[in-house]
């Protein structure tokens, strides 16, 4: 873990304001969705079931999966050409 924290990529990530803001937003949303004590604070206690939370998590990763699939397909076309 110490080696990871000292790496150049990690140092750049920690100093990137957009990346840190995005990380904070994701962690905050996950906390609101997954910590039952916060459900009442944000009035989502009756709105979401466990299945709904898993749907939200799955749908949140769809754009990333789509981008990665397109990247692999483009690289395959470049190598074939």
Instruction: Give a three-class secondary structure readout of the chain.
Output: CHHHHCCHHHHHHHHCHHHHHHHHHHHHHHHHHHCHHHHHHCCCCCCCCHHHHHHHHHHHHHHHHHHHHHHHHHHHHHHHC
Domains of the chain, by residue range, sit at 2-80
What is the pLDDT confidence band of residue 79, given thresholds at 50, 70 and 90?
confident
> What is the rounded average pLDDT of the residues 9-27?
79
Q: What global pTM score does this model have?
A: 0.46
Tell me what the pLDDT averaged over the chain comes to: 80
- Residue whose tokens read 């957009």: 18
């Amino acid at each position: 873990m110490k080696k990871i924290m000292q790496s150049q990529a990690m140092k750049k990530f920690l100093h990137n304001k957009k990346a840190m803001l995005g990380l904070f937003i994701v962690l905050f949303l996950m906390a609101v969705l997954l910590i039952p004590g916060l459900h009442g604070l944000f009035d989502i206690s009756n709105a979401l079931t466990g299945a709904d939370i898993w749907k939200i998590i799955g749908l949140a990763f769809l754009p990333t999966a789509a981008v990665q699939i397109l990247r692999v397909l483009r690289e395959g076309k470049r190598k074939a050409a």
